[in-house]
């Protein structure tokens, strides 16, 4: 049986005991994605040899929010690339799918999708993320 | 009909023909891995505008000029080439925009949606590929 783990608050004195088996599993894609997004924050202005902006922390957070909302736990981690306007691009090129999602510093989100069956679309996902959740779920199921 | 005279001091830059070649530097940050193809590739993210509303920069390939010249001071970068025709097919307009440092500088003007950036990337070819990028493909 797993050893219980204590956690709690000094303010309230509340202590909750959890066994390790009770703790939610961290999705495999989370750690490498956070690591790669964090690395982008070190890029200096002009990193692309032109006038590229430093990567906006707000775009990083927007990307993480988007992934938290749309990624199934078993989905593959995206490649993370910097955008010259200070945004980030998330890409999946695997399992017969090519999916690119760009997140601008102002929060504007665009996606382009293609797959081996010939499906192809481009969409503004700034307000609605359901279409992205759908294709990421499909991508995860292709494993 | 007679054309009005040009204002004093103005310069008329020669227009760019569809087959004019444009160069753009590619940083290592824009190389990713394509598991579908089993190789590294240049991301479409390399074909985006600059911040503050400035369009994407390119250099017009002047006959006789070596592409390696545009890497001076930018070691570790590669250079790709695409034509004005490729840019126009991606709904872009290419306009000369000389600077003090780069008389062959031009802007690629137009919305850079993901599909348009992919069209620019897919229409490009390597002209300077660093040796350590020998496996990096342009789709």
Q: What is the pLDDT of residues B121-138, one digit of tens each?
A: 999 999 999 989 999 998
Lookup: tokens for A127: 């307000």
**Residue A25 has what pLDDT?**
83
For B106, residues 6+ apart whose C-beta sits below 8 A from its C-beta are: B16, B22, B57, B58, B59, B60, B94, B95, B96, B97
Distance between CA atoms of residues B4 and A54, nearest Å: 46
**Residue B1 has what pLDDT?**
43
**Residue A13 has what pLDDT?**
66
Number of Cβ within 10 Å of residue A6's Cβ equals 8
**Residue B13 has what pLDDT?**
77
Helix (H, G, I), strand (E, B) or coil at B116: helix
A133: buried, middle or exposed (CB in 10 Å: 19+, 13-18, 0-12)?
middle
- Model confidence at B71, pLDDT cuts 50, 70, 90, reads very high
Distance between CA atoms of residues A6 and A23, nearest Å: 12
Mutate to test the interface with B, among A45, A76, A89 (most CBs of B within 10 A): A89
- Model confidence at B4, pLDDT cuts 50, 70, 90, reads very low
Distance between CA atoms of residues A131 and A126, nearest Å: 11
Helix (H, G, I), strand (E, B) or coil at A88: strand
A5 pLDDT more than 60:
no
B20 pLDDT more than 70:
yes
**Residue A22 has what pLDDT?**
63
**Residue B7 has what pLDDT?**
38
The region that residue A95 occupies, defined by phi over 0 for left and psi between -120 and 50 for alpha, beta otherwise, is left
Size of interface A-B (CB pairs under 8 A): 87
**Residue A77 has what pLDDT?**
97
A135 pLDDT more than 70:
yes
Q: Is the dihedral of CA B77, B82, B83, B86 positive or negative?
A: negative
Question: Taking CB atoms and an 8 Å cutoff, what residues of chain A touch B54?
Answer: 51
pTM: 0.85
- Model confidence at A23, pLDDT cuts 50, 70, 90, reads low
For residues A73-98, give the mean pLDDT: 97
Q: In Å, how far is A75's CA from the nearest CA of chain B?
A: 14
Mean pLDDT of chain B: 90
- Model confidence at A113, pLDDT cuts 50, 70, 90, reads very high
* CB contact (8 A) between residue B51 and residue A100: no
Burial profile B51-77: b = 16 or more Cβ within 10 angstroms, e = fewer: beeebbbbbbbeeeeebeebbeeeeeb
Distance between CA atoms of residues B58 and B79, nearest Å: 10
- Model confidence at B52, pLDDT cuts 50, 70, 90, reads confident
A9 pLDDT more than 60:
no
* CB contact (8 A) between residue A93 and residue B36: yes
Q: In Å, how far is A64's CA from the nearest CA of chain B?
A: 18
């Amino acid at each position: 049986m797993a050893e219980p783990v204590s956690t709690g608050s000094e303010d309230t004195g509340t202590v909750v005991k959890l066994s390790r088996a009770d703790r939610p599993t961290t999705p495999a894609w989370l750690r490498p994605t956070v690591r790669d997004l964090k690395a982008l924050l070190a890029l200096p202005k002009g990193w692309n040899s032109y006038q590229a902006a430093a990567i906006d922390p707000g775009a990083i957070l927007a990307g993480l929010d988007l992934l938290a909302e749309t990624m199934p736990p078993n989905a593959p981690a995206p490649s993370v690339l910097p955008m010259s306007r200070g945004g980030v691009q998330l890409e999946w090129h695997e399992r017969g799918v090519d999916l690119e999602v760009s997140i601008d510093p102002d929060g504007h989100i665009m996606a382009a999708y293609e797959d081996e069956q010939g499906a192809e679309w481009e969409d503004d996902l700034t307000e609605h993320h359901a279409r992205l959740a759908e294709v990421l779920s499909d991508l995860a199921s292709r494993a | 009909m007679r054309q009005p005279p040009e204002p004093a001091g103005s310069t008329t830059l020669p227009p760019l023909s569809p087959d004019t070649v444009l160069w753009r530097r590619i940083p290592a940050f824009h190389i990713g891995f394509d598991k579908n193809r089993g190789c590294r590739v240049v991301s479409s993210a390399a074909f985006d505008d600059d911040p503050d509303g400035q369009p994407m920069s390119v250099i017009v390939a002047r006959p006789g000029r070596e592409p390696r010249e545009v890497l001076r001071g930018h070691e570790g970068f590669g250079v790709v080439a695409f034509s004005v025709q490729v840019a126009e097919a991606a709904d872009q307009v290419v306009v000369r925009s000389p600077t003090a440092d780069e008389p062959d500088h031009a802007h690629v003007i137009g919305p850079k949606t993901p599909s348009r950036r992919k069209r620019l990337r897919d229409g490009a070819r390597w002209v300077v590929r660093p040796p350590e990028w020998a496996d990096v493909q342009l789709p």
